[in-house]
Each structure stands twice: as structure tokens, then as C-alpha cells.
Amino acid sequence: MSLDHYVTLGRSGLRVSPLCLGAMTFGEDLGWGSSVEVSTAILDRFLDRGGNFVDTANYYTRGHSEKIIGDHLGRNRARRDRVVIATKFFGNLFPHDPNGGGAGRKALVAACEESLRRLQTDYIDLYWMHCFDQHTPIEETLRALDDLVRAGKVRYVGVSDTPAWKVAQAQVTALFRGWAPFVGLQIEYSLLERTVEAELIPMARELGLGVTPWSPLKSGALSGKYTRENAGTVKADRGIWTEGVLTEKTYALLDVLARIAREQGSTVARVAIAWVQGRAGVSSTIIGARTVEQLDDNLGAAGWQLERDHEVKLLWASIFPRGYPYDFIEYANSEH
């Protein structure tokens, strides 16, 4: 599937590229991102290759990520309208303000207005709830989102990093009350993070949410940069996020990925991304890059599919215990 082979997101009519450009690295404000010049070069390369789906958040590089996108795309209305811009609310950019973040109506509406200003646009294509807010009734969040949709400031809404039971409650509530339903589910998903296959992905498929995985390379651990041979000698850009998963199990998986990459004339990163993109329920996989070269490597995953025997090898190399009640359900159903 090529980058311009667009797919609909969940049960919506929103057409997006099968790979989504994640803009969390846009801006050097946190000490590890890309400069403005490199960020805009990455954005241009992605769009030139046929990608149309860009994902950011109000909290990424303290709002600078949104501003970079706004300065580069928002000022050109004709170009902006050709791109699906997704951003998120929840993060608090005003730490001394108790209502500066979260999913309450006051915080949500203010965050939307601030994102619109930074993005220099009058509408957001896809507005994600970035995380489950345990202190706000979901009905309050849903009604506020529906008001933004009716006002034309938001086109579609989605949910990220939230338990399956809460997403199911929210989706059923929205549909019952005639509010704008979620069309997408953003979750971490990779060969090193498959626990979402137990509840989140089946829930998304049942309720019509298109899955947009983040971190398909597990913070770079599956990028091909780290190997059994250089273990402990290569500094991880993301620090403990990466170093914490560089275990023997990961190196065994990396060995399998490397063999498959050699057999298919590809790279470890492309194989890992292609595996995620080929999973049931996945609409568009979010990829990040700090350089144009990294982006080009990752975009290569859009051009081919894994062979069946390679997919099976990766499934076994990344197997995980699903636990109760799934093991019990499988046993019980095998008896009939």
C-alpha cells in the first residue's frame, strides 16, 4: 500500500494516508527535537510523497510543534485545506492554573482556541482527547466536543490513551445522545507492546474506531540502531524510554527483524512499521522522525507488505500472555 493509497478513518468519511506524520519532535524546546528548518523540511517531504495526515498536540514542545505547523501550513489556506491536521487537548501549559489542562469544558474549550491560534487555522480536522481524565465526567467532555463540532471549529473527534471500558462507555453515550462520536483510537502499539490486542483493538473494531498506533518502533528500540552486538555502547536519544526495553527478549526479536529485513532487502524499522500497519483494525500508523533521512527510511514501510511466514515468525517472537479471562474464554470455546 503506497502512501497516497488513502483509507477512511474508522466509520467516518475522513480519508487519511496509511502513515501519519507525528510532530512530537517538531521544535528543540525540550532539548532533543528537530529545528524549525528541519521540521518544515520533514513536513514538506511527507506531503510531497503523498501523505496528508499530520498529528500533533497542544503539549508537544510546549506548543511550538503546533506553531511550526501553523507557520508553514496555516498561513496558506489552499495548502492547509489539503492536509488533515490532528491535535490533542489535555496537557496543561499553565501549571499554576488548575483549569489549564484536563478534559473539563473550561479547559477543553480554551485549549481548542489556543491550538487554533497556534495552528493559524479556523478548524481542526481531528481533535483527540489525549488521555483519560479521571476527574471529569465523560459526558461533560463529550458534550463540549460536540459543541465544538457544531460550531465548525472541529470536524471529527477521537480518543487516545484511555481504557477500553471508558471508551466504550463514551462511544455508546455519544451515539445514544446524538453527539459527535469518536472516529479514531490512538494507542501505543508495536511488536514490543501488544497488550492492546486483548481489549482495546477488539473494542475499536466493534465500535467503528480507526486505530492510529503511536510508537511503532517503541521509542526507537526497534529502529535497527540497537543490536545485540552494540548493547550498552550506544546512547539512547530517548533515555530510559528506550533503555528500559532493551532486554534479552528485545534483542531476540531484533535478531528476527534483522533476518527478515535482509531476506526482503529492507530495514529493521520498515519491517517493524509494516507489521503494525498490517494488523487488523489499524487505519494509519503514526511515524516520527528527527531528520529527513529517518523519515525516508520509515516511509519505505508504505510500499510493501510482509510475507505470511515472516509475519508468523514475528508473532511468535513477540508473543505475550493475554491472561484472564481470555485464556479461559479460548479454552471454553474450544470445548464446543
Q: Quickly list DSSP for 208-254.
A: TPEEEEE-TTTTTTTSSS--STTTTTS--TTTHHHHTT-SHHHHHHH
Residue showing cell 489499524: 282
Q: Angle at CA 81, nearest 5°, toward 80 and 85?
A: 65
Domain assignment present for residue 2? The answer is no
Q: pTM here?
A: 0.94
On whether residue 73 sits in a domain, the answer given is yes
Closest C-alpha to 23, from 279, 215, 226, 287: 287
Considering the domain boundaries, does residue 315 fall inside one? no
pLDDT in tens, 28-45: 998 889 999 999 999 999
Residue 181 lies in a domain: yes
Residue 178 DSSP code? T
pLDDT for residue 135 is more than 80: yes
pLDDT, tens only, 182-206: 999 999 999 999 999 999 999 999 9
Residue 118: inside a domain, yes or no? yes
Which neighbouring-strand residues pair with 210?
184
pLDDT at position 236: 59
Per DSSP, the three-state class of 199 is coil
Report if residue 142 sits inside a domain: yes
- Would residue 291 count as lying in a domain? yes
Q: Looking at the predicted structure, is the pLDDT value of residue 238 above 60? A: no
Q: And the C-alpha cell for 184?
A: 479514531
Count of C-beta atoms within a 10 Å radius of residue 321:
9
Contact between 46 and 22 under an 8 Å Cβ cutoff? The reply is no
pLDDT, position 240: 64
How many domains does the chain contain in total?
1
60, 127, 156, 226: which one is catalytic? 60
Q: Which residues contact 72 (CB under 8 A, 6 or more apart)?
A: 40, 43
- Please report, for the domain that includes residue 26, its CATH number: 3.20.20.100
User: Per-residue confidence at 321, pLDDT binned at 50, 70, 90?
Assistant: confident
Residue 41 in grid coordinates: 523540511
251 lies in some domain: no
> What would you report as the CA-atom Rg of the chain, rounded to the nearest whole angstrom?
20
Other CB atoms within a 10 A radius of the CB of residue 310 amount to: 20
Within 8 A by CB and 6+ apart from 66, the residues are 56, 57, 58, 60, 87, 115, 118, 119
189 is an active site residue? no
Residue 205: domain span: 7-220+276-305
Q: Mind listing the pLDDT tens digit for each residue in 86-132?
A: 999 999 999 899 999 999 999 999 999 999 999 999 999 999 999 99
Indicate the burial class of 101 (C-beta count within 10 angstroms; 0-12, 13-18, 19 or more): buried
